[in-house]
């Protein structure tokens, strides 16, 4: 298991992460834009929104990866969580495919008494993923990468 920091920005993730890369060095592991998502009914994104960052990751050292995404009004309305500078941070738990049961256990235990933002479920990026705010107001993500199915 690896714990990482996951940040949310309001449209300037790419600028912020280019800055962080200039400070820490290294190369981005992943850069996914909202335009890379499979089309879903009812979701319409402008050309500008499609260019925003859905996920980016920058290794800081062998133990830590800094990750982030842009959030927009549609996301905030869907999750019923307004964007607030200062509370735009998650602790991200990352597990490999052999730890699916542990991912579920951690999600269920840590989210008890809290508020689930996204239930733990399979995603289009090949992971078991869920997000929540725990009973103490701390935001968490659980991401268990699945083997190619």
Please report, in tens digits, the pLDDT of each residue of the chain (149 residues total): 888 888 888 888 999 999 899 988 999 999 999 888 887 756 677 888 889 999 999 998 888 899 998 886 655 455 555 656 655 788 889 999 999 999 999 999 999 999 999 999 999 999 999 999 888 777 899 999 998 65
Q: Nearest Cα to 110, choosing from 92, 127, 96?
A: 92
> What was the pLDDT predicted at 74?
59
In order of start, what are the domains of the chain with their CATH numbers?
A: 2-145 (3.10.180.10)
> What was the pLDDT predicted at 118?
94
> What was the pLDDT predicted at 11?
87
Q: Token pair for residue 49?
A: 């929104």
Cβ atoms of 115 and 132 closer than 8 Å: yes
> What was the pLDDT predicted at 42?
60
Q: Cα–Cα distance between 21 and 5 in angstroms, integer?
A: 15
> What was the pLDDT predicted at 31?
96
CA 102 to chain centre: 19
> What was the pLDDT predicted at 82?
61
């Amino acid at each position: 298991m690896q714990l990482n920091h996951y940040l949310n920005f309001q449209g300037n993730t790419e600028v912020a992460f280019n800055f962080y890369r200039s400070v820490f060095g290294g190369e981005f592991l992943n850069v996914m834009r909202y335009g890379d998502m499979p089309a879903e009914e009812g979701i319409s994104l402008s050309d500008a929104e499609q260019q925003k960052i859905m996920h980016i990751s920058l290794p800081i050292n062998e133990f830590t990866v800094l990750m982030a995404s842009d959030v927009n009004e549609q996301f905030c309305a869907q999750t019923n969580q307004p964007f607030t500078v200062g509370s735009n941070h998650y602790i991200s738990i990352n597990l490999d495919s052999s730890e699916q049961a542990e991912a579920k256990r951690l999600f269920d235990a840590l989210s008890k008494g809290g508020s689930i933002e996204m239930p733990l479920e399979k995603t289009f990026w090949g992971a078991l993923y869920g997000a929540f705010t725990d009973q103490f107001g701390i935001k968490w993500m659980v991401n268990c990468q699945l083997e190619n199915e």
